[in-house]
Amino acid sequence: LSSCRNKLNASREIAPVTLPNCRLIKGIETGSEDIDILPNGLAFISSGLKYPGIKPRAPDKPGEILLMDLNEDNPRAKELRISRGFDLASFNPHGISTYIDRDDTVYLFVVNHPHQKSTVELFKFVEDDNSLVHLKTIQHDLLYSVNDVVAMGPDSFYATNDHYFFDFILMFLEMFLGLNWSNVIYYSPKEVKEVATGFYSANGINTSPDRKYIYVADIFDHNVHVMEKHANWNLTHVKTLQLDTLVDNLSIDAHTGDIWIGCHPNGLKLMYSSPEDVPGSEVLRIQNILSEKPEVTRVYADNGSVLQGSSVASVYEGKLLIGTVFHRALYCEL
């Protein structure tokens, strides 16, 4: 059991790190699990995730994709309309990723868990209309417990399976036994294959700005893996950066290559989430991950009094958005 407690960082308490110019975003009450910001400052936010073992705030409310324009002085989150024919009632969005095609079409990939299954939904973003047009639902036997995706083309991506089992009891058993059965899958219409394995619980995934490296966060192993991408889409391990927190989603600063991570200081509090002992939030920035000595900075930390269960941190021109699994979202000016 002690190894399980270690994986969850069950006894960790954190010292606060505050930022001067932060406010909670109006209209986000049921999570902002993943955030992806386009080069023009439009931020997509997935909200309303219902995940096995974590009690949702609004169990009957379907999930949604929100949009914020970070160029505005006082940006607000607006729900994007989704085209007809898509089953909104069972929409349960998790990790997201955007891809801009050569003709400037914006594609949004969304991990979805309708009826306890895993799919990846592909949408086209129509900016004039503030809407998403649903193009297709991607389902595959190798995509069985998808957590996050990173788009590699208009219809291809890497995805993490965070567990071998999707059933909560078996999932817990898997963690308890320390099985390294979590993996990364490459998907394209032409081929689908496992490209990396041996993770304890692969979670967030993203790519370096030059797209030569893929970064994978292993939440219960408290680390980030750097993988080299090859011409056949296979990945090979370059290095692992060990951290003292549960690392969730990874965001990349396109200009500097810095990795921003939403983290859970204490996983036990996240899972139990009792009103008396709420889960905290932590944001790390990693600079020069490929160097001998990457620089890790704690940019923000809170005991849950402001923000509970941070899962992502994304930057755009001096602005920082911090999202959560099931709570609110914070907008900060750095």
27-41, 115-129, 161-175, 282-296: which range is least confident on average? 161-175
Query: Rounded to two decimals, what is the model's pTM?
Result: 0.96
pLDDT of residue 271: 83
pLDDT of residue 38: 98
**15: CATH:** 2.120.10.30
State the catalytic residues: 94
- Where is the binding site, in residues? 33-34, 96, 147-148, 203, 248-249
**Could you please report the per-residue DSSP string of 181-211?**
-EEEEEE-SS-EEEEEEEESSEEEEEE-TTS
8-12, 28-32, 177-181: which range is least confident on average? 177-181
Mean pLDDT of 44-62: 87
> Which ranges of the chain would DSSP assign to H, the alpha helix?
2-7, 168-177, 267-272
**What tens digit of pLDDT does each residue of 295-332 get?**
999 999 999 999 999 999 999 999 999 999 999 999 99
The strand pairing partners of 281, in sequence order, are 302
Single-letter residue type at 121: E
Domain extent for 40: 1-333
2 closest CA partner among 217, 216, 268: 268
Place of tokens 């324009």: 69
Single-letter residue type at 81: R
Q: Which class for 39: exposed (0-12), middle (13-18), buried (19 or more C-beta within 10 A)?
A: exposed
The count of domains in the chain is 1
Rg (CA), the chain: 18
Token representation of residue 95: 């990790």
pLDDT of residue 178: 67
- Where is the binding site for Ca(2+), in residues? 33-34, 96, 147-148, 203, 248-249
**What tens digit of pLDDT does each residue of 144-202 get?**
999 999 999 999 999 999 986 656 666 676 666 666 889 999 999 999 999 999 999 99
> Alpha carbon 151 to chain centroid distance?
13
pLDDT of residue 175: 66
Q: What is the mean pLDDT of the chain?
A: 94
Dist CA 30 CA 325 (whole Å): 8
Q: Who wins on pLDDT, 226 or 56?
A: 226
